[in-house]
């Protein structure tokens, strides 16, 4: 996949995620909570897809059939969502994470480490991610 194609796919995933979240909010307004939740999960998967594509764009992972398959794998996208959620905390968490007095205390939460391990060992082979 060429760089312009990757960038286009990232933009499309972000736009799809935003549209699905707007639809989820509309469903909430009509007390259609199961539908709102389903749309929010789909939006979350679109944002996860954008993160995976961003890693390809940054050449952190190579474009491969395994990565292409991961973009369609709901479990993989949900695992990436766990990581994404950790990377986009609320402001209080952000300040705590970046406070110099807590640097020695920072560790990845267990659920984030678990998600990374499952992605690397079960969903996208380590040989793809590690390059060897």
Of the chain, the end-to-end C-alpha distance in Å amounts to 20
- Helices 110-118, 74-87: axis angle to 10 degrees equals 140
pLDDT at 132: 46
What parts of the chain have a pLDDT lower than 70? Answer: 89-92, 94-106, 126-132
pLDDT at 4: 87
pLDDT at 88: 79
User: How many angstroms separate the most distant Cα atoms in the chain?
Assistant: 51
């Amino acid at each position: 996949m060429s760089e312009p194609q990757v960038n286009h796919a990232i933009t499309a995933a972000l736009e799809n995620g935003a549209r699905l979240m707007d639809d989820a909010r509309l469903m909430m307004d009509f007390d259609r909570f199961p539908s709102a939740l389903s749309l929010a999960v789909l939006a979350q998967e679109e944002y996860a897809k954008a993160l995976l594509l961003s890693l390809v764009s940054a050449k952190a992972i190579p474009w491969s059939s395994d990565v292409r398959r991961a973009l369609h794998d709901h479990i993989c996208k949900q695992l990436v969502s766990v990581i994404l959620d950790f990377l986009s905390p609320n402001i209080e968490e952000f300040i705590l994470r970046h406070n110099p007095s807590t640097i020695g205390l920072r560790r990845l939460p267990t659920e984030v480490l678990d998600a990374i391990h499952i992605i690397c060992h079960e969903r996208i082979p380590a040989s793809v991610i590690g390059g060897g």
